[in-house]
Structures are given as structure tokens and as C-alpha cells.
Structure 1
Amino acid sequence: MTADVTDRPVPARPNPGPSAPVRSPAPGRRLLGLVRAELTMLLRNRMQLGTAILMPVAVPFLYLPIARAGAGPAHLAGALGMMFVIALLFVVYYNLLCAYVARRQELVLKRLRTGEASDATVLAAAAVPAMLVAAVMIAVMSAISVPLLDLPVPRQVLLILLGVVLGGVLMVPLALVTANITRTVESAQVTCLPIMAVLVLGTGAAVPLDLMPDWLGRLITVIPSSPIVALIRMGWLGIDADGAPLSTGALWADAGVQTVILLVWLVLACVLVAQRFRWEPRG
């Protein structure tokens, strides 16, 4: 009589030991991975690449007749500061506005948010390539403008970098705030107009500040674009808005005031984005 198979001893299974924990990529590597994907899509955008190549070369030549007409370095440096702001508006602000709205409507932001990347990483990854393109454009414009417009070498490059970097970073939450009221990519052409108009006005290019009432002129000086232009003008020439030379102490004191204005706007915009940004498509 054969033995029942249930009576046979069951061999003991080897103990596999504690399983090794699965390590998730570091936040920096997740950000670099998303940035690489965003940069790949940006390089496929021929219109933006054409703008990035042509605009830095064309802008200094637009000011060449003004320079030949006798415009001083103070006027030219202020005009270049205005063009830097416009470059940040179109390359960073407007492009990011369209990108955030499109990816929200296509549920890309929602899918990325369910992964390991934090909310800040998802939003920052789209901004990095646009800011790099804007930085290259501004650097090329500056390099061409010095010999072409007979501008002096910048006195304080740190102040110029401070204005450009803070201005570029500020464009990111401004784009996110505008995305909250933008339903489609097509409507972004309309919803962006108020912020773009106000920032262009703040540069002093549309209407010179000396032609405005005193109260309006003081109000415009706290618009974010006004400190950007002021930092570029002080960093390039070391002069104030009236063209008067600034001592070293006065230069850095005024630069500190302009920096505080930009930082206040940046904090307010980031708080608003953290509390109000819409990740779901607008109905």
C-alpha cells in the first residue's frame, strides 16, 4: 500500500532574507530627467528657435539709428533693459503660459503629479529650458551691443545678472497665475495681455516716467519690470534714473531696494500659485 502524498515531508523553503528597499531617484535626477524631456520638445519648436537666433542679432541694430543720432549710453542702456524685459516676457512668460495650459488640458501635469516628482519639480522642469534660451539671447544681445552701439563695458555685471535672473524666475509664477484664468492655448493670447502691457509700461519705454504725474511715476517704480531695468542700468553704467552717477554706497543701497521689490513680488506670486494653481483641466 502506497503512502499518502500528504504524509510526505515538505522540504523547507530557503529564507530569501529581507528584500532590499527600492530606491527612488534623487530629486535632482528627477528634475534633470524632466528638464531633458522639456529641452527636447523645445528644440523641436522651430518658431521659438528662430526667434532665439534672430532676435538677439536684430535688436541691437534697431537701436543703431538712435545711437548715431546722438543718444547717450544712459538712454541706450535703458532701452536695452526694456528689450531684456520683452525677451523674458515672450520667451519665458508667454511660452510657459501656453505650455502649462496645454499640458494641463492634456492631463500631462496630472499624470506627472501622480509620480515621484514633487509639484515644484514638475512645474520647474518646464521653466528651465525656456530660461536657458532667454539667458543665451540676452547674453548675445549684450555682447553685440557693446561694440555696435559704442556702449561701455558693464561696471557691475553682478547687478545685471541679478536683475535678469530674478526677472526670469518671476516670469514663471506669473505664467502659472495667468494659467489659472486661461482655458485654452488659444485664449492665452488674450489673457496674457494685461500682465504684458503692465510690465512693458513699467520699463518706461511706452511712456517716459518724466511725462507722468508724480503719483503715477512712483506707482510704476514698484511694477516688477521697473526694478529689472533699474538694476541693468545701474549695473551697466552706475547711474540712477536721472542719469546722475552713483557712488558705490548709493549704488548698492539702491540696488538693494530694487532687489527687495522683486523678491516681494516673487514671494507673493509663489504663495498664490501654491494656494490656487489648478492642476485639473478647466471645464
Structure 2
Amino acid sequence: MNLPNMLAVARLDLMLLWRNRTALFTVVGMPVLFAGMLALFKGEEAAGMDMALYTGTGYLAFFLVFAVFMNLVSVFTARREDLTLKRLRGGMLSDAEVLGGSVLVAGAFYLVQALVLLVLLGTALGGRFPANPLLMAAGLAAGTAVFALLAFALSGLTPNADMAQLTVVPIMFLSMAGSGVMFPLDGLPEAVQQAAGTLPLTPVVETIRTGYFGQDFTAASTPADVGFLDSWAACARSFAVFGVWLYLGIWSARRWFRWEPRHA
């Protein structure tokens, strides 16, 4: 895999993203809107937690849906239908370079958003430096890989570029409502909590909050303080869920991703 070739594809992605105002709003505008909403939670507490910081760390995970998942579904669906993917694949670029360039751009956007949000949490919202930044980084990286693979698969099931903005909506709302992004799941029935724990965004939320606060956010009860090594052990189940979704993502991407239009 040649890095200059990937960067060339990445530059093409940036140019096309700038020209597509709808996609640009999804990738940039939506995270800005959600980040601005954190001001509404400043000074509020629930179950002993600062709501601005609790919700903000949830947004660190949720922005994956905008920058990586929704973005890549739109990119790959549109490029497939206008034969761009087919032309790129027929040239000197390898499959990994064609796909990797787009993932590189999506990942870069997400990284910038995460860093800006961390600065916002630590300054305007009175937060702190993460207790375990390595755990947070591992969760962010694993989540990026999972949602990129899911985007490959869903793009193959999406009939055209116009439908791409609709097919991602159920997963977006399910991720937001069921992964504990904005509120704890403790009050939900046990069966619902168990199901929510298997969603692809849930382990991202758990590892980010555990790494940021230095508390075990993988348990349903009140989070307990954990040390640097104990925080990794606490997130063992979260990484197991990551492993399952990585396997499912690879399988579904190989099965459903398409290089040519669906009518071909």
C-alpha cells in the first residue's frame, strides 16, 4: 500500500466534500451543533455527575457516526453510482489505496473533532486532563475501524446517493439512544441494558468515559474509581465487543460492498 497514492485519494475526497454542502454539514456542522448544546448542561448534575462532561464524553464517541460512518456511506455510494470507484480501481491504485484514502480523511476529521471537544471539555466546561488517554485513544481507534467497516457494508446496500442520508438514520438514532451517550442506562430494564451493551457504539462510550474520568463506566452501578491498569481490565468486555463487531464488519463488508452500480 503506497502512502502517496492514499494521499492523492484523500485530496480528491476533500475536494468533493467541500463541493457537497450536505455532506459537509453532516461531517462538520452537526458536530458543531451538538458541541454547542453542551452549554445547556453546564452546571447541571445528575447522579453526582457533571452533565456537561458526562454528555460531552458521550459526544466524543457519537461524533464517529457523523465523521466516519455517515460520511463514508455517502462517499462510497456516490462514487459507486457515478463509476468513480470503478475507474479508480481500474487504474494504478490498489483496492486498499482507494478505500484507505477515504478512511484517512474521515479518520482525520474525527481526530480533529475529538481533540477540539477535549479542549472544550477541559476549558470552557471545567473538565480535566484524561486519567488514561491511552485507553481513550484505543477506544477511538477501534471505534473508527468498526464504523468504517460498517459503512463499507451499508454503502453496498444503499441504492443511490440520495438514499444514503436516509439509510444511516436508524443506526444514528439507535446509537444515540441505546449507547448511553446522553443518559445512563441504569433505569432501563435489564434485558434492554444487555442489548444496549452489544451495540457497536457502546464500547466506544465505555472506554472513553472510563479513560477520561478514571472511573469504571462499564458497570451499570455507580462508577467506582479505577487506576491506570485497572481501567484496562474494567474495559475487557468492551474490547471483546469491539472484537465481535470487527469480525462482523469485515464479514459484512466483504459480502455487501460493491465497486460498481447496483443495476450493473
Q: Is the 8 A contact 1:73 1:151 kept in 2?
A: no
Deviation at 1:55, TM superposition (A): 5.7
Structure 2 CA distance for aligned equivalents of residues 80 and 68 of structure 1: 13
Q: What are structure 2's unaligned runs of at least 5 residues?
A: none
Task: Decide whether the 8 Å contact of 1:110 with 1:279 is kept in 2.
Answer: yes
Which residue is 1:69 aligned to? 44
Query: Structure 2 matches for 1:217-256, cutoff 5 A?
Result: 217-241=193-217, 242-256=222-236
Moved more, 37-46 or 142-151: 37-46
Deviation string 1:163-220 (CA, Å, 9 cap, x unpaired) is: 2222122221111111122111111232112222222233224664112111221221
Partners of 1:166 and 1:131 in 2: CA distance: 11
What secondary structure, in the 3-state scheme, does the structure 2 residue paired with 1:68 have?
coil
Contact 2:43 2:50 in 1 (8 A): no
Could you tell me which of 38, 56, 81 is aligned with 2:13?
Answer: 38
Tell me the CA shift for residue 120 of structure 1.
2.2
TM-superposed CA distance for 1:105, in Å, is: 0.6
Partner of 2:259: 279
Within 5 A, what are the aligned runs for 1:1-283?
27-45=2-20, 59-71=34-46, 72-73=48-49, 75-205=51-181, 208-241=184-217, 242-283=222-263
Q: Is the 8 A contact 1:84 1:138 kept in 2?
A: yes
Contact 2:6–2:98 (Cα < 8 Å) also in 1: yes
Q: Relative to 1, partners in 2 of residues 1:230 and 1:109: Cα closer, same or farther, differing over 3 Å?
A: same
SS of residue paired to 1:148: coil
For residues 3-58 of structure 1, give each alpha carbon's deviation from its aligned partner in whole angstroms, at most 9, with x where no partner exists. xxxxxxxxxxxxxxxxxxxxxxx623322222222233334445655666666665
Query: Is the 1:74–1:237 contact (alpha carbons within 8 Å) kept by the matching residues of 2?
Result: no
Alpha-carbon distance between aligned partners in 2 of 1:61 and 1:236, rounded to the nearest angstrom: 20
- Which shows bigger deviation, 140-149 or 194-203? 194-203
- Quick one: which amino acid aligns to residue 258 of structure 1? S
- Aligned residue for 2:158, secondary structure, equals coil
Contact 1:34 1:125 in 2 (8 A): yes
SS at match of 1:204: coil
Whether contact under 8 Å (1:42, 1:129) holds in the other structure is no
Aligned letter for 1:142?
Answer: L
In the superposition, the TM-score normalised over structure 1's length comes to 0.81
Q: Deviations over 1:237-279 (max 9, x none)?
A: 1112322212444311122331232132123212221233222
Cα root mean square deviation, aligned:
2.4
Asked whether the equivalents of residues 44 and 52 of structure 2 are also in contact (C-alpha less than 8 Å), the reply is: no
Using a 3 Å threshold, how does the CA distance of structure 1 residues 105 and 232 change in structure 2: closer, same or farther?
Answer: same
Decide whether the 8 Å contact of 2:70 with 2:168 is kept in 1: yes
TM-score (norm 2): 0.86
